[in-house]
Chains A and B, each alone.
Chain A
Amino acid sequence: MSDRRAVITGIGVVAPTGIGVVEHWAGSLSGRGRIGPVTSFDATGAPIRLAGEVTGFDEHEFVDSKLLVQTDRWTWFALAATRLALADAALDPAREDPFDLSVVTAGASGGNAFGQREIQALWSKGPRAVSAYQSIGWFYAASSGQLSIKHQLKGACGVLVADAAGAIDALAEASRLVRRGTEVVVTGGTEAPLSPYALACQAAEATVSRETDPDRAYRPFAPDAGGYVPGEGGAILIVEDRHSALGRCAPTVYAEIAGTASTHDAHHVTDPAPGHRQYARAMREAIARAGLGPDDIGVVFADGAGDPVRDAQEVAALREVFGGRPVPVTVPKTMTGRLCSGGAALDLAWAALSLTGGVIPPTVNTVAPRGMDLVTEPRAVAGLSAALVVARGSGGFNSAAVLTAV
């Protein structure tokens, strides 16, 4: 059992940067920011008017009409990203023993538009107006459940919530399941937190950006950083045992999940901790569990909160872990906004793509703090062998994963 090692063999992306790995990767390397005015409803009076929306997504292409009415946009993204990821991995679940297949997703904002619509129906029209699908459409397990049914993933299934850090915890769980004998785990996370109500909930966070210029709204590490911009979308990853993946000649073995770790600040449910101790510890433990040292890490996909206090913590944590070495750091989510629990899933996809392509996607619209090697243009790196992906969730969650080239 202990010789089983988890690798990523498929990536499905539905994000502001594009739909599918090819479009997403090309879009990411173009460095084009996708943050813009909210278009899904009239947001004139809304507290948040900018977002990273997924454009060009036709749900009918991925979800049959019977299922469409039962599900929210976040589940449509999950269904689409999973289909794309399975195709990318050249894996047909129908050919596997269903009990050897699992799904573990991250969730955070659930089917908020679905929920909003049904609560509205209840209060404006009465109980009989509530959809029979409310009980399965909005809750946090909706996407894992639908994916399990759609692809006959009948092993241990899971849903983890740790705000923006949850997708790394889901990846860690996927890796654990593979080490314990599950053949294939569908993991990752997608989100659609741009309904009027979900945006209003996010407006209650002190760290959300009030800026109106899309190019100035989300600028992590900038001295005048004014907060984050929400976005939607995410990524689904196919995780399987390394030996099995090589044995079935999987088209791309993107990366190995070499080490993961999670810590909690245990300081305050909304306010940032006074230091970076637990955040740095998550990074150090993930690197140690990968059997590596800080010098082995070729790139860090940083959290990039976009809030001066949290940004300073991240700079300090990276300095503590990497010493004086200017490790390349990137925050490609500056192109998409922060996708709730989908963001870390997308970061994992970016990291895996970097390791296979030997190119680090850029950080846009911001400037490097002193002493940080912030990657602001796509950067080709020879021999890139290990990436550290880190994420923090509101309330004090810190998670880290080390992916290594295979």
Chain B
Amino acid sequence: MRRVVVTGIGVIAPGGVGREEFWNRIVDGKPAVRRITAFDPSPFRSQIAAEVDFDPAAHGLTPREVRRMDRFTQLAVACADEALADSGLDLGAADPERAGVSLGSAVGATITLEEEYVVASDRGRDWAVDHRHLKPFLYQALVPSSAAAELAVRFGVNGPAAVVSTGCTSGIDAIGRAYRLIQDGEADMMIAGASDAPISPITVACFDAIRATSPSNDEPETASRPFDAGRKGFVLGEGAAVLVVEELEHARRRGARVYCEVTGYAARANGFHMTGLRPDGFELGEAIGRALEEAALNPQDIGYISAHGSGTKQNDRHETAAYKRSLGDHAHRVPISSIKSVIGHSLGAIGSIEMAACAMVLQRGVVPPTANLTVPDPDCDLDYTPLVAREVTAGHALSAGSGFGGFQSAMIFSALGADR
């Protein structure tokens, strides 16, 4: 079996633009949540979000590119630039036909689609929109694969390219797709990650409508509190992470620095409800169990878990049950944390951001904390690493994700020399 490793990381997250700033932010456990500045949030129930302060020009995007690309594409491009630079890969020396793109996104170009519609419909007055008021490149907003195309074009890679859009597990599933394509010999290297920029009136309104997001508008910094008894829902975020994943020998031949190996991946669906989760965590437990099996690991080998930890009551209990179900007693011993407490929930992007965090945890021996976890929910009785980062030498890190549609995904990264 061909082995697949991570050799480059790029991250743009709230409060942490760039890989190192991101890492410092999550290790400090300092929440990057504030009152929404992207638009006037006062008509909404939830008026807070984890926003990214992103200057596309500072990341080398031309005015032309900024006009052409929705924000989620801009974030993806900037992250991919960082990841490629980090990997030290000379694309000119690589075979472009053996390199591809796998980019996750849950909601694609929602900001552009909403903004343009509002103009063309005279602020929602007309059903038959006036197309003369629309900007060019709107088809690229409608169909989000344009973002994968932007990456393929930018880096001149001719291998398989696609967007993976499985809602909030997109970020894990996009890396999972890259992993499978390399394992199966369809590519030697993939630009893999996810991006979402969902902070727009319609997205805020749709989560308001199901009361999924936190209404703690007066205390934005403490609003995202996964596993805490005082939590009131998740906090919407935005961001992106892109990894360079490569076949192991391909990486070795060029003397690449290897962060970790992708050793296990599995996805399961709960077949239960588009948004609801059963408290037993059965399907997420199945996904974790299958990922462990693929990685040929026992539960006690897992040294860190990056939780989905969205901060909704049903998720946190569902997830706690899934860890107990799949890891047995070890669920009580392994450090677990949710970086959503710091950077919010960026829908499809967060899965890749959390995988980036896992790779850095393995490399740096530090587990970022769950911020705002001051009074644990008695039903969430695992070690969720409250408030303070911890030094932990982990050989294997597990990340779990759960999303609308009933999808559950699990992925395991392993340090290259770790026992298996």
Binding site for B on A (CB under 8 A): 41-43, 45-47, 70, 98-99, 103, 107-110, 112, 115-116, 118-127, 130-132, 134-136, 139-142, 144-146, 148-149, 152-163, 166, 169, 173, 176, 193, 196-205, 261-270, 278, 281, 340, 393-397
- Indicate the member of B141, B152, B158, B177 with the most A CB atoms within 10 Å: B158
CA A281 to CA B160, docked complex, whole Å: 12
- With A122-B205, A204-B134, A268-B153 in contact, do A70 and B268 touch (Cβ < 8 Å)? no
Cβ–Cβ contact B406 & A145, under 8 A: yes
Binding site secondary structure of chain A: mixed
Can you pick out 7 interface pairs between chain A and chain B where the beta carbons lie within 8 Å of each other? A139-B165, A140-B106, A145-B406, A161-B148, A196-B127, A197-B117, A281-B158
- When the two chains form the complex, which single residue of A43, A127, A264, A269 contacts B159, counting CB atoms closer than 8 Å? A264
Q: Which residues of B contact A123 (CB under 8 A)?
A: 118, 121, 123-124, 201
Q: How far is the CB of A23 from chain B (nearest CB, A)?
A: 29
Q: How far is the CB of B25 from chain A (nearest CB, A)?
A: 28
Q: Which residues of A contact B97 (CB under 8 A)?
A: 263, 278, 281
CA A146 to CA B284, docked complex, whole Å: 18
Q: Which residues of A contact B283 (CB under 8 A)?
A: 154
Count of chain B residues with a beta carbon within 8 Å of a chain A beta carbon: 89
- Which one of B238-246, B247-255, B271-279 is at the interface? B271-279
0/1 string, B182-220, CB within 8 A of A gives 1: 001010000000000000011011111110100000000
- Which one of B107-115, B320-328, B362-370 is at the interface? B107-115
Cβ–Cβ contact A161 & B208, under 8 A: no
- With A152-B271, A153-B269, A200-B129 in contact, do A394 and B146 touch (Cβ < 8 Å)? yes
- When the two chains form the complex, which single residue of B107, B128, B158, B206 contacts A130, counting CB atoms closer than 8 Å? B206
| Complex interface residues of chain B between 159 and 183 (CB less than 8 A to chain A) | 159-167, 170, 173, 177, 180
CA A127 to CA B269, docked complex, whole Å: 31
- With A157-B269, A161-B165, A163-B145 in contact, do A115 and B125 touch (Cβ < 8 Å)? no
- With A41-B127, A163-B143, A200-B129 in contact, do A139 and B209 touch (Cβ < 8 Å)? no
Cβ–Cβ contact B286 & A148, under 8 A: no
Cβ–Cβ contact A202 & B144, under 8 A: no
Cβ–Cβ contact B269 & A148, under 8 A: yes
- Chain B residue at minimum C-beta to C-beta distance from A108: B143
Q: How far is the CB of B278 from chain A (nearest CB, A)?
A: 12
**Which 8 A-B pairs give the minimum distances between C-beta atoms?**
A145-B405, A395-B149, A123-B124, A124-B124, A140-B165, A134-B206, A156-B267, A161-B163
CA A132 to CA B271, docked complex, whole Å: 20
Q: How far is the CB of A11 from chain B (nearest CB, A)?
A: 23
Q: Which residues of A contact B405 (CB under 8 A)?
A: 136, 141-142, 144-146, 148, 157
| Complex interface residues of chain B between 379 and 420 (CB less than 8 A to chain A) | 403-407
- When the two chains form the complex, which single residue of A120, A261, A269 contacts B153, counting CB atoms closer than 8 Å? A269
Q: How far is the CB of B38 from chain A (nearest CB, A)?
A: 15
0/1 string, B120-141, CB within 8 A of A gives 1: 1101110111110011111111
Q: How far is the CB of B393 from chain A (nearest CB, A)?
A: 32
- With A119-B124, A145-B406 in contact, do A162 and B44 touch (Cβ < 8 Å)? no
Q: How far is the CB of B7 from chain A (nearest CB, A)?
A: 21
| Complex interface residues of chain B between 26 and 51 (CB less than 8 A to chain A) | 43-45
CA A162 to CA B101, docked complex, whole Å: 11
Asked if B330 CB lies within 8 Å of chain A CBs, one says no
- Chain A residue at minimum C-beta to C-beta distance from B275: A136
Cβ–Cβ contact B162 & A148, under 8 A: no
Cβ–Cβ contact A202 & B406, under 8 A: no
- When the two chains form the complex, which single residue of B113, B137, B145 contacts A166, counting CB atoms closer than 8 Å? B145
Q: How far is the CB of B65 from chain A (nearest CB, A)?
A: 10
Q: Which residues of B contact A99 (CB under 8 A)?
A: 268, 286
Binding site for A on B (CB under 8 A): 43-45, 68, 96-97, 100-101, 106-108, 113-114, 117-118, 120-121, 123-125, 127-131, 134-146, 148-150, 152-153, 155-167, 170, 173, 177, 180, 184, 186, 201-202, 204-210, 212, 266-275, 283, 286, 403-407
Q: Which residues of A contact B157 (CB under 8 A)?
A: 264, 266
- Chain A residue at minimum C-beta to C-beta distance from B128: A196
Q: How far is the CB of B360 from chain A (nearest CB, A)?
A: 27
Q: How far is the CB of B181 from chain A (nearest CB, A)?
A: 9
Cβ–Cβ contact A397 & B141, under 8 A: no
Cβ–Cβ contact A201 & B162, under 8 A: no
- When the two chains form the complex, which single residue of A145, A263, A270 contacts B140, counting CB atoms closer than 8 Å? A270
Cβ–Cβ contact A47 & B127, under 8 A: no
Cβ–Cβ contact B269 & A203, under 8 A: no
- When the two chains form the complex, which single residue of B114, B117, B125, B173 contacts A158, counting CB atoms closer than 8 Å? B173
Apart from the given pairs A134-B206, A141-B166, A200-B120, 7 other A-B contacts in the complex at a CB distance below 8 Å: A41-B127, A122-B201, A135-B209, A153-B271, A264-B101, A269-B150, A270-B137
- Chain A residue at minimum C-beta to C-beta distance from B157: A266
Q: Which residues of A contact B209 (CB under 8 A)?
A: 127, 130-132, 134-135
Cβ–Cβ contact A204 & B137, under 8 A: yes
CA A159 to CA B96, docked complex, whole Å: 25
CA A142 to CA B114, docked complex, whole Å: 19
- With A99-B286, A154-B283, A166-B145 in contact, do A122 and B202 touch (Cβ < 8 Å)? yes
Q: How far is the CB of B344 from chain A (nearest CB, A)?
A: 16
Cβ–Cβ contact B163 & A160, under 8 A: yes
- With A120-B124, A162-B162, A268-B153 in contact, do A139 and B107 touch (Cβ < 8 Å)? yes
CA A266 to CA B405, docked complex, whole Å: 32
- When the two chains form the complex, which single residue of B44, B108, B120 contacts A140, counting CB atoms closer than 8 Å? B108
- Chain B residue at minimum C-beta to C-beta distance from A179: B184
CA A266 to CA B157, docked complex, whole Å: 6
Cβ–Cβ contact B137 & A159, under 8 A: no
- With A132-B209, A266-B158 in contact, do A197 and B129 touch (Cβ < 8 Å)? yes
Q: Which residues of B contact A158 (CB under 8 A)?
A: 164, 166, 173, 177, 267
Q: How far is the CB of A245 from chain B (nearest CB, A)?
A: 22
Q: Which residues of A contact B160 (CB under 8 A)?
A: 169, 261-264
Q: Which residues of A contact B268 (CB under 8 A)?
A: 99, 154-156
Q: How far is the CB of A279 from chain B (nearest CB, A)?
A: 11
- With A149-B274, A166-B162, A395-B140 in contact, do A176 and B149 touch (Cβ < 8 Å)? no
CA A127 to CA B206, docked complex, whole Å: 8
Q: Which residues of B contact A126 (CB under 8 A)?
A: 43
- Chain A residue at minimum C-beta to C-beta distance from B132: A47
Cβ–Cβ contact A109 & B404, under 8 A: no
- When the two chains form the complex, which single residue of B108, B150, B266, B270 contacts A156, counting CB atoms closer than 8 Å? B266
Q: Which residues of B contact A148 (CB under 8 A)?
A: 269, 271, 405-407
Q: How far is the CB of B404 from chain A (nearest CB, A)?
A: 6
Q: Which residues of A contact B152 (CB under 8 A)?
A: 264-266, 396
Q: How far is the CB of A281 from chain B (nearest CB, A)?
A: 7
Cβ–Cβ contact B44 & A127, under 8 A: yes
CA A122 to CA B205, docked complex, whole Å: 8
- When the two chains form the complex, which single residue of B108, B164, B210 contacts A135, counting CB atoms closer than 8 Å? B210
CA A265 to CA B410, docked complex, whole Å: 32
- Chain A residue at minimum C-beta to C-beta distance from B212: A135
- With A108-B145, A176-B180, A397-B145 in contact, do A41 and B128 touch (Cβ < 8 Å)? yes
Cβ–Cβ contact B271 & A340, under 8 A: no
- When the two chains form the complex, which single residue of B123, B146, B150, B180 contacts A124, counting CB atoms closer than 8 Å? B123
Cβ–Cβ contact A161 & B134, under 8 A: no
Cβ–Cβ contact B43 & A395, under 8 A: no
Cβ–Cβ contact B161 & A397, under 8 A: yes
- Indicate the member of B113, B120, B137, B208 with the most A CB atoms within 10 Å: B113
